């Protein structure tokens, strides 16, 4: 049985998000396989001594790119916690509606819950109003869900992208619900590598075909240096005609 314990962190324990341009304070995940964590005894060989140590953190590399005719969202497939690979077939890209998708880095369970909830709100909005939810509105719904859970936060960084009446749009959200529009973004443990590739090669007016190739290039570069990412790539290519999914295995 897998038991997880989220503890508070000091200000020295943080991650840098290149896409958001700021420091994010993210709780460390302490994972015990088969038994609960004991604050009194701790794990064998792990004495906290009032200084929290990284026992396990979720890893991922996820990117989003806006193009002239759509949006590309992509993430690698490895699900890892610290130096342990939980799965080689994890899916971190999700459909929200017919023209909106999300890609995440963090806890897979939190990603799935958030994507499912925003998808339900998008469906209810379409039923009540007779028109599809905009990308900005979907990002705002997710922002509200994240902020409302700030005391026990969803451990995930999220990229929401899609195509609506205003054209392609992309938003990046941190675990507190901060929402920032951008042309391209990278989140996760491999973001520092992926964002360098995106900044070097991204250009305004690129097509979704070019955006797809750039997303694959960025994630492959991150995989080559980030041990917590790997095992393939899942992509969502979103255009005015709908969403196409693709999976590439390594």
- 129, pLDDT greater than 90: yes
Catalytic residue among 61, 156, 158, 239: 61
Residue 8 forms part of a structural domain: no
**pLDDT tens profile 166-202:** 999 999 999 999 999 999 999 999 999 999 999 999 9
- Is the predicted pLDDT of residue 16 greater than 50, yes or no? no
Element (H, E) at 18: none
| Residue with the two structure tokens 């997880």 | 4
pLDDT confidence of residue 57 = 64
Task: Please say if 66 is a catalytic residue.
Answer: no
Place of tokens 């017919």: 98
pLDDT bracket for residue 82 (50, 70, 90)? confident
Report the 10 Å Cβ neighbour count for 247.
12
What local confidence, expressed as pLDDT, does residue 54 receive? 43
Average pLDDT over residues 229-233: 93
Give just the sign of the alpha carbon dihedral 124, 127, 133, 137.
negative
Average pLDDT of the segment spanning 63-91: 92
For 184, the domain range is 58-248
Tell me whether residue 16 is in a domain: no
Residues pairing with 79 in the sheet: 87
Position 250 scores a pLDDT of 79
The residue whose two tokens read 């943080």 is 14
**Mean pLDDT score, 76-96:** 90
User: What mean pLDDT value characterizes the chain?
Assistant: 82
Flag whether 17 is in a domain.
no
Does residue 81 sit within a domain?
yes
pLDDT digits (tens, 9 = 90+) for 20-69: 444 343 444 433 333 333 334 443 444 444 444 444 567 899 999 999 99
In the prediction, which pLDDT does 58 show? 74
Average pLDDT over residues 204-231: 94
Residue 14, domain member (yes or no): no
Looking up residue 196, the CATH number of its domain turns out to be: 3.60.20.10
> If you search the block for the tokens 């007779």, which residue do you land on?
130
End-to-end CA distance of the chain: 30
Tell me the percentage of the chain whose pLDDT exceeds 70: 77
Distance CA 101, CA 104 (A): 10
3-state secondary structure 172-235: EECCCCCEEECCEEEEECCHHHHHHHHHHHCCCCCCHHHHHHHHHHHHHHHHHHCCCCCCCEEE
Residue 9 placed within a domain:
no
Specify the pLDDT at position 99. Answer: 96
Say if residue 100's pLDDT is above 80: yes
Q: What percent of the chain has pLDDT over 90?
A: 67
| 92 in Cβ contact with 115 (< 8 Å) | no
CB 92 within 8 A of CB 219: no
Q: How many domains does the chain have?
A: 1
Provide the pLDDT for residue 83. Answer: 78
- Return the pLDDT at 18: 44
Residue 130 falls inside a structural domain: yes
Task: List the structure tokens of 193.
Answer: 């590598």
Q: Does any domain span residue 27? A: no
């Amino acid at each position: 049985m897998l038991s997880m314990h989220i503890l508070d962190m000091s200000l020295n324990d943080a991650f840098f998000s290149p896409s958001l341009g700021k420091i994010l304070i993210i709780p460390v995940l302490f994972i015990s396989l088969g038994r609960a964590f004991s604050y009194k005894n701790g794990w064998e060989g792990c004495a906290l001594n009032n200084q929290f140590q990284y026992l396990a953190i979720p890893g991922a590399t996820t990117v989003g790119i806006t193009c002239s005719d759509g949006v590309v969202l992509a993430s690698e497939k490895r699900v890892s916690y610290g130096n342990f690979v939980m799965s080689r077939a994890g899916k971190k890209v999700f459909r929200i509606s017919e023209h909106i998708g999300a890609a995440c880095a963090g806890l897979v369970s939190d990603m799935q819950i958030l994507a499912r909830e925003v998808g339900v709100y998008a469906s209810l909005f379409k039923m009540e109003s007779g028109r599809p939810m905009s990308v900005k509105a979907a990002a705002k719904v997710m922002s509200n869900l994240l902020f409302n859970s700030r005391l026990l936060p969803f451990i995930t960084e999220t990229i929401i992208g899609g195509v609506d009446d205003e054209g392609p749009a992309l938003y990046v959200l941190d675990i507190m619900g901060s929402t920032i529009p951008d042309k391209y973004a990278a989140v996760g443990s491999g973001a520092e590598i992926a964002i360098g590739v995106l900044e070097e090669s991204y250009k305004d007016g690129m097509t979704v075909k070019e955006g797809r190739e750039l997303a694959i290039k960025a994630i492959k570069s991150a995989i080559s240096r980030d041990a917590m990412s790997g095992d393939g790539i899942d992509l969502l290519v979103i255009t005015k005609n709908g969403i196409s999914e693709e999976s590439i295995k390594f």
